[in-house]
């Protein structure tokens, strides 16, 4: 599990290969990932936007950016956790992702970025 903390916001991510949605001969490799956002600060925050960088083993890079996560802009009080699951498709059986979340402190309206740590996307058959 990849984990990082920025400004009191802890991000943890676990990725899995999804063979049931993949077609290696296509080539189409699908990976799911579970994101856990934990507010370890004393302030109430809201997630406004996401910005992902997605890389495959062929050197291709994609960027995905937009409002919220899976259609939500969750608010987290101090100590609260928000979890969600999403997925990404690659043209290769290995890759990686990382990015940022744009958050806002609800009391001061100060916006700040939270780092999403690098995490690997590896098809099960490529692991030892």
pLDDT of residue 125: 85
pLDDT band at 110 (very low <50, low <70, confident <90, very high): very high
Question: What is the model's pTM?
Answer: 0.93
pLDDT band at 127 (very low <50, low <70, confident <90, very high): confident
The two three-digit tokens of residue 13, written as one number: 């991510």
Contact 96, 119 (CB under 8 A): yes
Q: Which whole number is the average pLDDT over 39-64?
A: 97
Cα-based angle 80, 85, 91 (whole degrees, multiple of 5) = 145
Pairing of strands 81-90, 61-67: unpaired
Whether residue 128 is predicted with pLDDT greater than 70 in this model: the reply is: no
Superfamily assignment of 2-126 in CATH? Answer: ApaG domain (2.60.40.1470)
Closest CA to 27 of 87, 88, 90: 90
Quick check: helix, strand or coil at residue 21? helix
Residue extents of the structural domains in the chain: 2-126
């Amino acid at each position: 599990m990849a984990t990082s903390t920025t400004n009191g916001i802890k991000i943890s991510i676990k990725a899995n290969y999804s063979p049931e949605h993949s077609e290696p001969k296509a080539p189409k490799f699908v990976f799911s990932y579970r994101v856990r956002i934990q507010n370890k600060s004393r302030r109430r925050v809201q997630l406004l936007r996401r910005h992902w960088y997605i890389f495959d083993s062929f050197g291709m890079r994609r960027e995905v950016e937009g409002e919220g996560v899976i259609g939500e802009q969750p608010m987290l009080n101090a100590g609260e956790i928000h979890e969600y699951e999403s997925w990404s498709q690659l043209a290769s059986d290995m890759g990686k992702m990382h990015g940022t979340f744009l958050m806002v402190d609800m009391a001061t309206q100060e916006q700040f970025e939270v780092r999403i740590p690098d995490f690997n996307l590896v098809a099960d058959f490529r692991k030892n």
